[in-house]
Amino acid sequence: MTETRPLRPETIAAAHGVASDAAFGAIAPPLYLSSTYEFAGFEQPRVYDYGRAGNPTRDLLADALARLEGGGGAVVTASGMAALDLVVSQLPAGAGVIAPHDCYGGTMRLLKAREQLGQLSLQLVDQRDCDAVGAALAGSPDLLLIETPSNPLLRVVDIAALSAQAKAAGAAVAVDNTFLSPALQRPIALGADYVIHSTTKYLNGHSDVIGGAVIAADAGKAERLSHWANVVGCSGSPFDAWLTLRGLRTLFPRMHQQQLSAMVIAQMLDHHPAVSAVHYPGLAAHPDHALAARQQLGFGAMLSFELAGGVDAVKRLIAALRLFTFAESLGGVESLIVHPATMTHADMGDAARHVAGIGAGLLRVSVGLEAEKDLVEDLAAGLAVC
């Protein structure tokens, strides 16, 4: 692809690196698996010398992600958790970190574990509460971590407002953009310093890769992260990068179709007597609907809902469903349903789950690419036995 003018994000996703192979003119970018590279001569390394430090396939994915997020550079890591930890590892010893009180369970586990080791001081805050954020920022923390929409309750917080507040207090801002991807939300344009992804989810989109990425607004900070990824050895594998780049090609049409189905499903659930609450920012009644409409480029394909019949109803629904597979993870072409309290957020513990509002009757759904009517019929049939 030869570029003569700025390209739209859809084009970057579909075409970054296409037909860039100088050796044979391959349309699909080649997969370079080699772990090491021949030096041109004594003290003459080429562009790449060792696969942990750099790899052409991984770099192509990093460049595509940096362009999509509007960043100065990106690092592709072995998982979303490795991406989060890469950002945290840049902090000085004893640094202050503010994180959402209702973030992904693995994120909370990581931050609490690092706190227990004495490496950081963690404040878990309801980031919808400006006063609570202000009070936490008064302690001059080093990093504000945002996750919006949140996992699993789909709460939305104001990235621009929080970033401005954090900057004024001298804290860097990192946004976990896993739930929406750059197709539907671009945090750097809203003031974030770092965007974090579990590429395992929408960016790859086919549930066959565990991967992550950090995109830094500043090119120098991206360089530093890249250096550090080599130092600790958390770089992603070339094959995973190749698969993720392939998945990225269809990111926009997948997100488009999946969020259309999610809206229909959310509306159906909203009217169902067995359902006591639906959490989907696309619904006009969602408390953060106006903010999501302003901040996001779409409402996404994740939603959660609560069954009036509690955990017994959860068990009956799970057993009755045919199309929604009962499994962790999200963002793939297949629809998945998960019980956060016993699966993704089990490690949080009862007390933290209670504070976050994650109850026993809550189910989280990742809406896939199956026919929307089949999905609605499957859920309706399952809910009939709840």
List of residues contacting ligand PLP (CB under 6 A)? 79-81, 104, 106-107, 147, 151, 176, 178-179, 198, 200, 210, 212
Q: How far is the CB of 308 from ligand PLP (least distance, A)?
A: 26
Q: How far is the CB of 338 from ligand PLP (least distance, A)?
A: 9
Residue 193's Cα: distance from chain center in Å? 16
Q: How far is the CB of 129 from ligand PLP (least distance, A)?
A: 21
52 a catalytic residue:
yes
Q: How far is the CB of 203 from ligand PLP (least distance, A)?
A: 10
167 a catalytic residue:
no
CB nearer ligand PLP, residue 79 or residue 207:
79
CB nearer ligand PLP, residue 106 or residue 309:
106
CB nearer ligand PLP, residue 146 or residue 379:
146
Q: How far is the CB of 202 from ligand PLP (least distance, A)?
A: 10
Question: In three state form, how does the secondary structure of the chain look?
Answer: CCCCCCCCHHHHHHHCCCCCCCCCCCCCCCCCCCCECCCCECCECCCCCECCCCCHHHHHHHHHHHHHHCCCEEEEECCHHHHHHHHHCCCCCCEEEEEECCCCHHHHHHHHHHHHCCCEEEEEECCCCHHHHHHHHCCCCCEEEEECCCCCCCCCCCHHHHHHHHHHCCCEEEEECCCCHHHHCCHHHHCCCEEEEECCCCCCCCCCCCCEEEEECCHHHHHHHHHHHHHHCCECCHHHHHHHHHHHCCHHHHHHHHHHHHHHHHHHHHCCCCEEEEECCCCCCCCCHHHHHHHCCCCCCEEEEEECCHHHHHHHHHHHCCCCEECCCCCCCCCEEECCCCCCCHHHCHHHHHHHCCCCCEEEEECCCCCHHHHHHHHHHHHCCC
CB nearer ligand PLP, residue 264 or residue 343:
343
Q: How far apart are CA 142 and CA 161, in angstroms?
A: 17
- Which residue is associated with the tokens 């976990």? 176
CB nearer ligand PLP, residue 73 or residue 105:
105
Residue of 32, 37, 104, 202 marked catalytic: 104
Q: How far is the CB of 327 from ligand PLP (least distance, A)?
A: 12
CB nearer ligand PLP, residue 240 or residue 378:
240
List the one residue out of 113, 118, 53 whose CA is nearest residue 85: 113
Tokens found for residue 84: 């989060």
Residue of 59, 102, 158, 176 marked catalytic: 176
Residue of 112, 114, 128, 201 marked catalytic: 201
201 a catalytic residue:
yes
194 a catalytic residue:
no
Task: Give the residue at shortest CB distance from ligand PLP.
Answer: 80
Q: How far apart are CA 371 and CA 8, in angstroms?
A: 28
CB nearer ligand PLP, residue 81 or residue 172:
81
CB nearer ligand PLP, residue 57 or residue 181:
181
Q: How far is the CB of 46 from ligand PLP (least distance, A)?
A: 31
Q: How far is the CB of 18 from ligand PLP (least distance, A)?
A: 26
Residues with Cβ within 8 Å of residue 95, at least 6 apart in sequence:
119, 120, 121, 141, 142, 143
Active site residues: 52, 104, 176, 201
